[in-house]
Chains A and B, each alone.
Chain A
Amino acid sequence: MAGLLDKRLWVVSGKGGVGKSTVAAALALRSARAGRRTLVCEVNTQERISRFLEHPAAGPEVTLLEENLWAVDVRPQEAMREYGLMVLRFEALYKTVFENRLVRYFLRFIPSLQELVLLGKIMYHLQEKLPDGRWRFDTIVLDAPATGHAISFLSVPHVLVQTVPQGPMSREAQKMRDLLVDPAVTAAVLVALPEEMPVNEALELHAALKDKVHIRTHAAVLNQAIPERFTEADLEALAGHPELHRVAKANHDRASLTVLAGTKLERNLHAPVFNVPRLYLPTFGRDAIEQVMGHLEALVMGEK
């Protein structure tokens, strides 16, 4: 299997609480270590990735965290302003228009304008070049919203192209759509836990990305996987120790669920599944991200 390094836009999504930001942070760190200039984007959320990596929060400006690794929290107000300035070209004109109460009111109700400018900022960075003609960022890792929101967020260019009258918005949308659907550029990584709902959501997300957004699932990450430890014989031997039996049985059941979830993902996504074992660390910081990264080596670099 080819690694993610062949692609430039890595979209990470899955159900809420499955560890999307953890996986996005680990992927971004690995890409940076591979010598790629990497930008990791969070979308209008409580920023977590910079904190995981033990750096100060990046905020809405693209900020260098460490060698080859930049982060940004893409927020609507700032993104709208950048977009506005790009279209209107003059700060004074922007202020007259965008700080007008009536305009602010209208902008809120223009369908999907907010998503369009958020995604637009990410796509802008994807195409940004250095003076010497190289890409400013080789890799962009998008820590996308959770399933439902991710689908509506990423389908915005499609929806706009189909519904909005010809005009500046539809032209922008068209450009973004072309990049998003290009399999040479974009790859999705779906994150799940070994539980029923997160796995089902990953399958739904896969189908929606394929049919509505035309983004291919590159791989799935099964986070908090529990490796097999107790055999049936162990459980039988523990029958006389009810409390310990309960603990061992729970571990055993979670391990079986991990196997089931992995099989279900593999069969339905037709994509490789990478297990990240559950970590037992007192605090969740850089150490944890480094460990997760270790389990995603083949996902990023490809099979040797």
Chain B
Amino acid sequence: MSTTALGPALARKRVLICVGSGGVGKTTVAATLALRAAVDGRDSLVCTIDPAKRLANSLGLSALGNAETQVPASALEPLGVTARASLHAMMLDMKQTWDDLITRVAPPEQRERILANRFYQSLSTALAGSQEYIAMEKVWELRRKGEYELVVLDTPPTAHALDFLDAPNRVLDFLDNEAAKWLLAPALKAGKLGMSLFNRSGYVLRALSKFTGTEMLQELSSFMLSLSGMNEGFRERARGVRALLEDASTGFVLVTSPHPERMDEAIHFSTLLKQHRMEVVALVVNRVHPLPTEAMWADAATLTPTRRAKVEETLRELQVLAEQDGRGIAQLQAACPGIPLIQVPRFGLDVHDITSLWQTGRFLLGDDTF
């Protein structure tokens, strides 16, 4: 029935990842895709990052938490459809998910030490890509458990597209780096990590400690020592996450606003995904202003002068915005040949209730078009 590339993707993919700059409507698109897949018969989960409270409410949930919650059938009543499979939703709590991961992979005697270490705090919150990593790690975990036929991930607002794609590599790097082994090896052999670290490496490290202070370097080394106990489990998972991103059952949906000023970010993202051999299922251009039709102009001409002036002013404004959007879309299409492009119009108000999610879905799947 569906005429867009998202139809087959919703029917066959196991994981869909919605990516794009902040404020373009990733959460809406992610929720819509999961809703549509559930209605069409696949057990689905949408994993969101920071949804509008009204979006949670529209799914019949008072709030979304770190646990997966089933969306009640009553929430779908306004649509006049019944879902043929279950729809679940959750909001990812980054810190909690990191703590869960450590609890799972760390040897019991090391757990508390790691969770309390300030380098752990920075790994789990501040390190570029760590939020992106933990979101994908969660999807990997969900996928492994296999309770859902489709998981749709809404990604965190990313300052840099590369942070997202590089996240598993960075984590692997953190664990794998030969430099760390070289520095730690003598200490590990001796069974403890002492000041020998700093005597041995001499002047480079002394100079480095001018920046950070000696204590900082010692703490970092000690943190890495405590991590070494969980390296294997951690590494295996990070490899799993990386493989998941490239897997044929995983697809990316790149969401963008149509504005030409914003298009370079979308094009950049799409280029990076391609370089990383990740499949972009569709480019979704969200909140496109439709061009006023001839009929509308003609109709406006029949109004009383004051109203006619107001309406024509509004149509002229829409015309400017629609032409702007048109240029942005043409740029995107030219820069990303071969990737299906789907336009969703800007609706009267923000998309926050189930009916407007459904309406968005009709455009995503091609039931309605411009």
Contact = CB atoms under 8 A, between A and B. Distances in A.
A302 interface: no
Nearest to B318: A247
B8 interface: no
Contacts of B352: 196
Contacts of B23: 15-18, 197-198
B211 A169 contact: yes
B257 A17 contact: yes
Interface centre among B157, B182, B201, B304 (most CB of A within 10 A): B157
Contacts of B321: 280
B171 to A, nearest CB: 11
B311 A247 contact: yes
Contacts of A257: 349
B273 interface: no
Contacts of A18: 23
A88 B216 CA distance: 18
A123 interface: no
A168 B154 CA distance: 40
B39 interface: no
Contacts of B214: 167
A257 B318 CA distance: 18
A179 B292 CA distance: 52
Interface centre among B313, B348, B352 (most CB of A within 10 A): B348
Nearest to A152: B126
A111 B52 contact: no
Interface string A29-61: 000000000000000111010000000000000
A130 interface: no
Given A111-B121, A111-B126, A253-B348, A87 B212 contact: no
A146 B296 contact: no
A103 interface: yes
Contacts of B207: 88, 93, 96-97
A197 B52 contact: yes
Contacts, number: 167
Nearest to B304: A237
B323 A282 contact: yes
Given A18-B23, A96-B204, A149-B159, A110 B220 contact: yes
Interface in A86-133: 87-88, 93, 96-97, 100-103, 105-115
Given A17-B23, A102-B182, A247 B314 contact: yes
Given A110-B216, A196-B350, A280 B320 contact: yes
A193 to B, nearest CB: 8
Contacts of A109: 119, 122-123, 127, 174, 220
Contact of B212 (A46, A167, A281): A167
Given A113-B212, A169-B216, 8 more contacts: A103-B204, A109-B220, A110-B216, A112-B126, A229-B314, A247-B292, A248-B310, A280-B320
30 contacts: A16-B21, A44-B159, A46-B265, A96-B207, A97-B204, A101-B179, A106-B208, A109-B123, A109-B174, A110-B216, A111-B127, A114-B128, A145-B159, A148-B156, A169-B211, A169-B216, A196-B54, A200-B52, A229-B313, A230-B310, A234-B307, A237-B304, A244-B311, A247-B292, A247-B315, A248-B310, A257-B349, A280-B317, A282-B324, A283-B260
